[in-house]
Amino acid sequence: MPAGAAAAPAPQTLAQKLVARAAGRASVVPGEIVTCRVDLAMFHDSSGPRRLAPMLAELGAPIWDKDRVVLVIDHYVPEADDESRRIVRLARDWAREQALPHVHDGQGICHVVLPQAGHLRPGLFCVGGDSHSPTGGAFGAYMFGIGATEMLGVVTTGEIWLQVPHTIRMHWAGRLAAGVTAKDMMLAMLGRFGMNGGDYQAVEYTGDAVAALPMAERMTLCNMSAELGAQVGLVAPDATTAGWLREVGVEVTPAELARWQSDPGAPATHHEFDASSLEPQVALPHSPANVQPVGALAPTAVDVAYIGACTGAKLDDLRAAAQVLRGRKVAAGVQLLVAPASLKDRAAAEREGVLQALQEAGAQLLPSACGACAGYGSAIPEGSTVISSTARNFRGRMGAATAQVYLGSPYTVAASALLGRIADAREVLQ
C-alpha cells in the first residue's frame, strides 16, 4: 500500500451496516459496544403504557419524539374480563393524554400491523416491546425486542446501546416443494440448532429458497429468529421487498436496495440447507425445538386446530389453509379456530373467498388479535391436543396448562383439521 493511502474498508455484513448507520459510524466490528439512535419504538397494550406510564410520570420525563413511537393495542382485545378492560383503558387514556400520532387500536397483531401501516423500510434501526419484534428484519430493518426498563431509556433519550453482533448466515439452496413453507424451514433450523442456536447474534437468511419467498413468509422466518435465540433475523431487501412496501405507500429506491446488502467476504458463520429436500416439520410439546418431520410422527389425533398469530394467520397463511380445506369439511370432533392476523388481511381474505372456504369447511372465526397465541381468552380447552400455527408451544403458553400443543405450518394445521390427526398436507394437495 502506498504511503499515506487509506486502507480499504473491511467487508461488512448487513447487520454491521445497519448498526453502523444507527451509531453514526462508517463501520463497526462484531463485539464492540456502540450507542445507536432509534428510528422507531413500538410497544403494545401489554408491554407499553401500563409499564411505561408510571415510570415516565415518576421521572417527569417527556417522550423524546412522539412521531417515532407506535402503540398497537392487540393483546387484551377484545376485552374478556375486568383486568383486560383496565389494561386497554389505561393504554387508550395514556395515548390520548400523550397525543400519540401513531396508535393502531384493534387493527391486528403488532408485528403485522406495523409494516402494513407503512412504518418499516430498509435501513431503519427499531426496537419493540415484544420478543417477536425481529419480524421487522424481513424488510431489511434492524429490529429487536427489549424489556420495559430498556424501553423507558429509549422513549426518553431516543438511544440504546448494544454489542455489535456476529452474523450467522443460514443459506437455503434450492426451492421449497408445494406445501412446504418458511415455518417448516424455521422448525428444521430449531430442530438442528436448538433455541440457543442464534446465540443472541444476527441471523441472516440467504439463498435461492429465501429469495423466492413472498414477504409474509420472510416475516415468519425473521419473527421466529426469537425462538432460535437470535437478537435479530434479517433478509436483505430486494425487488420483492420494494414491491410489497410500495403497496403500503413506502417507496424504496434501487440505491437503497443496493446499500443494504452484506458485502462479499464479510465475517459470518455459514450453515447450508437444501430446501428441495425439506419435508413439512412439526414441533412436539413443549418446545419449538422438539422437532420431527410430520411423516415421522406417530399417529396423533387432534382436538383443536388453531390458525392464528403473527407466524400463521397472514393472508398467505389463510390462503394456504383454504387451499387444503376448500370444498371439504373438518373431521368430526375437531374444532378449527381461525384468527386472521390483521383486519387488512381479514378483509382481503373475505374479498378473495378465502374466509368463506374456511367457514364452509367448519372454521370458527376469532378476532384479529394475539388471542390464544398469548394465552388470552378461553379458546383452548384444558387437556386438549392442539395443532397450531403459532410460534411457541411452551406448557401453558396458550392458556391451558394441560394442553398438548404441537406447532406446524398453516398447511399442516389445515390438513390435520381435515383428517383429524397431525398430517402432511401433501396427502391432500396431491
What domains can you pick out in the chain, each with its CATH number? 9-278 (3.30.499.10), 281-429 (3.30.499.10)
Helix or strand or coil: residue 311? coil
Cβ-count burial of 382 within 10 angstroms (0-12 exposed, 13-18 middle, 19+ buried)? exposed
Task: List the grid coordinates of 177.
Answer: 416443494
Q: Is 220:190 a contact under the CB 8 Å cutoff? A: no
Burial 149-183 (b: 16+ CB within 10 A, else e): eebbebbbebebebebbbbbbbbbeeebeebbbbb
Percent of the chain with pLDDT over 70: 98
Place of cell 417515532: 68
Burial 48-87 (b: 16+ CB within 10 A, else e): bbbbbbeebeeeeeebeeeebbbbbbbbbbeeeeeebeeb
- Measured in whole angstroms, the distance separating CA 105 from the mean position of its chain's CA atoms is 19
Burial 339-362 (b: 16+ CB within 10 A, else e): bbbbbbbbebbeeeebbebbeebb
Q: pLDDT value at position 8? A: 66
- Write out the H or E segment, with its range, that includes residue 338: strand 335-338
- Which parts of the chain register pLDDT below 70? 1-8, 377-378
Q: Is 357:326 a contact under the CB 8 Å cutoff? A: yes
Give phi and psi for 350, each to the nearest 5. Answer: -70, -45
- 154's CB contacts (< 8 A; 6+ apart) are 38, 41, 64, 127, 146, 160
pTM value?
A: 0.96
Q: Residue type at 62?
A: P
Q: Is 386:304 a contact under the CB 8 Å cutoff? A: yes
Q: What is the pLDDT of residues 329-382, one digit of tens each?
A: 999 999 999 999 999 999 999 999 999 999 999 999 999 999 888 888 667 889
Q: Is 210:243 a contact under the CB 8 Å cutoff? A: no
Q: pLDDT value at position 430? A: 79
Q: Residue type at 353?
A: G
Task: List the grid coordinates of 191.
Answer: 430442530
DSSP classification of residue 277: G
Dihedral-angle region of residue 211 (phi above 0 means left; psi in -120 to 50 means alpha; beta otherwise): alpha
Q: Is 368:265 a contact under the CB 8 Å cutoff? A: no
Task: List the grid coordinates of 3.
Answer: 504511503
Q: Cα–Cα distance between 43 and 89 in angstroms, integer?
A: 15
Encode 37-69 in three state secondary structure: ECCEEEEECCCCHHHHHHHHHHHCCCCCCHHHE
